[in-house]
Structure 1
Amino acid sequence: MKSSTGAHTGTGTWLVQRATAVALAVALPGLTIHFLTALPVDFAGWQTLFVPLWVRVLLLLTMTALALHAWVGMRDIFMDYIQPVGLRLALYLAVIVTLAGCEIVMLMALWK
């Protein structure tokens, strides 16, 4: 049976998975501390929480890292456990559309 992946893709995907994990491990505690110290109680408070540019940029980078991390994980799961190529490609497309849609919604929400 012919493989639908190229040769030597393991190292690159391993590096992406580890790099995004490190990025998330650094960004998420910082964002959590920022949100917990502000403790907004109303809508206006939540709006002002996202005013600083560094918060919006860090949220967008964190979301991108999370999407890449999820994509690599899901792609590996599908490659290992979904044998019919057509089904695997349909699942790839569904995950890509979902993750890209989430990224677009986040981008639109942060820069409206």
Structure 2
Amino acid sequence: MSQNYGTKRVVTGAHYGLRDWLAQRITAVLMALYTVVLLVQVLMAPSLDYYGWSAIFASQWMKFLTFVVIVALLYHAWVGVRDIWMDYIKPVGIRLALQVFTLVWLVGCAGWSIQVLWRL
């Protein structure tokens, strides 16, 4: 005679919980720190015209830091929007289409940001 101990639990979902929560917090802190760095750069700039902004982003470290923060922002947005699609869009086909559209949009934004940053 076999006995089953405990309850049988139906396991569903993607189980992204802790990883997504942590990713959202880390990317938010990174964006907040970047905001402070950018604010210091703006306050130290001699002027806020085109040439002043170009001078802020002329150094490679600032371009790199800006791109890292843009990638963090895109990942932050992906986690949030993906969770919205998973929570509120029940038909699988529509949810998949929205997720693919979101990914394509975010990758396009990343490409555009590279163009803008390294064009300066």
Which TM-score band applies after superposition, normalised by the shorter structure?
A: 0.7 to 0.9
TM-score norm. by structure 2 comes to: 0.79
Aligned-partner residue type, residue 26 of structure 1: L
Aligned partners of 1:84 and 1:57: how far apart in 2? Answer: 40
Q: Percent identity?
A: 43
Count of matched residue pairs: 109
**How far does the alpha carbon of each residue in 1:10-63 deviate from its partner, in whole angstroms, 9 at most, with x for none?**
111111111111111111121122123315344333322211111101110110
- What is the Cα deviation at residue 108 of structure 1? 1.8
Which fold has the larger relative contact order, with Cα–Cα distance below 8 Å and residues 6 or more apart in sequence? 1
Q: 1:100 to 1:39 in 2, by over 3 A?
A: farther
What are the ranges of 5 or more consecutive residues in structure 1 without an aligned counterpart?
A: none
1:104 aligned to 2:111? Answer: yes
Instruction: Say whether the 8 Å CA contact 1:71–1:95 is kept in structure 2.
Output: yes
Q: 1:50 to 1:16 in 2, by over 3 A?
A: same
Q: What is the root-mean-square deviation in Å for CA atoms of aligned residues?
A: 1.9
- 2:44 is aligned to 37
Aligned counterparts, 1:1-112, within 5 A: 5-6=13-14, 8-38=15-45, 40-112=47-119
Q: Greater share of helix residues, 1 or 2?
A: 1
Q: 1:36 to 1:96 in 2, by over 3 A?
A: farther
Where do 4+ consecutive residues of structure 1 move more than 3 Å?
A: 39-42
Which structure would you say has the larger Rg? 2
